[in-house]
Amino acid sequence: MSTAARAEQPVFDDQISSRNFARLSALIHQLAGIKIPQTKKTMLEGRLRRRVRAIGAYNLDAYCDALFDGAAGEEETEHLLNAVTTNKTDFFREPKHFEYMQSTILPAIGAAGTRRLRAWSAGCSTGAEPYTMAMVFDDYATRNGGPEYGILATDLDSGVLEIARRGIYPRAQVQPVPPAMRLRYVMEPLDPAAPDVRIVPALRSAVGFAQLNFMDASYPVGDPMDIIMCRNVLIYFDRPTQEAVLNRLCRKLKQGGWIMIGHSETIAEMDLPLRQVGNTTFQKV
């Protein structure tokens, strides 16, 4: 291959210039509230290289130039945010929350005579969290004659929402689901050697998925919620953004409703209408 031909090939091991890193991190914070410190520069480069390959840009800085001068198109900002969001999720992740739901929250909601429970998985990723909620709610309703329930599940990343809507997962991913719930709520394929399983239609129909950006001034999610789970999302925001997001979430929570955050997250010294009632579990006062 000639030198001229080699020069035309995309470069996949380059780095983002300091100027473009500053512009990118500021844009990502502005659009999604996610903080990208200098220590995460290598991570950002790695994720964006996949996008560079996908669109055939010459290198990372060429991609940045196309993004900021508009040549990449308005839709590229959505691809950018999809690339930088973290989508770690598991069924029954941080199980203490679901144990508290079963032992305390659902009996309290039942005792209050609530006919239809509304819950929100805010930052739902590929759907493991809202489907876990649906399993817990459905199991309780089956054993106690109600209440009915509906779950809203939102995420910024349009790609993970498509995965969540399908409700199809590698068999290994549903292993944390208790065996009795797996039998009831997870469909096995006709081919026992097939690698994937699927959430049963009744649970899929109980969960509605929608795109939502935590940086929006308000959250158009309808009537107030009985339960909100916003777990392992706040860690990507700076402190003022965390408090602003939590206040907006609280406005969508019923008086006396419950909100759960990740076990590594804290609301200490924040001005919020919440009191702690369990492990990273709070009730609106």
pLDDT along the chain (285 residues), means of 10: 42 76 90 85 86 82 85 79 80 97 97 96 97 98 96 94 97 95 96 93 98 92 97 91 96 98 95 96 98
Is 69 a known active-site residue?
no
The verdict on 156 and 116 lying in the same domain is yes
Contact assessment for residue 281 and residue 267, using Cβ atoms and an 8 Å cutoff: no
CATH code for position 21: 1.10.155.10
Q: Are residues 223 and 102 in the same domain?
A: yes
> What's the number of domains the chain is made of?
2
Residue 279 belongs to domain with CATH number = 3.40.50.150
Using only C-alpha atoms, what is the Rg of the chain?
21
Integer Cα distance of 93 and 133 in angstroms: 11
Same structural domain, 152 and 222 = yes
In-domain check, residue 90: no
Inside any domain, residue 202: yes
Cβ partners under 8 Å of residue 97, min gap 6: 229, 231, 260, 279, 280, 281
Q: Show which of 51, 84, 117 is a domain's final residue.
A: 84
Do residue 137 and residue 199 come from a single domain? yes
Both 279 and 250 in one domain: the answer is yes
Find the catalytic residue in 61, 93, 118, 155: 155
What is the pTM for the complete model shown?
0.82
Q: For residue 13, what pLDDT is reported?
A: 54
In a domain, 211, yes or no: yes
**Catalytic entry in 47, 182, 204, 248:** 47
Residue 57 lies in domain? 3-84
Tell me if residue 47 is catalytic: yes
Last residue of a domain, which of 46, 63, 84? 84
Contact 82, 88 (CB under 8 A): no
Of 35, 51, 84, the residue that ends a domain is 84
Do 102 and 78 sit in the same domain of this protein? no
Considering the domain architecture, whether residues 250 and 230 belong to the same structural domain is answered as yes
State the pLDDT at residue 270: 97
Q: Token pair for residue 223?
A: 């009537």
- Return the structure tokens found at 201: 């239609």
Q: What is the pLDDT of residue 7?
A: 42
Is 44 part of a structural domain of the chain? yes
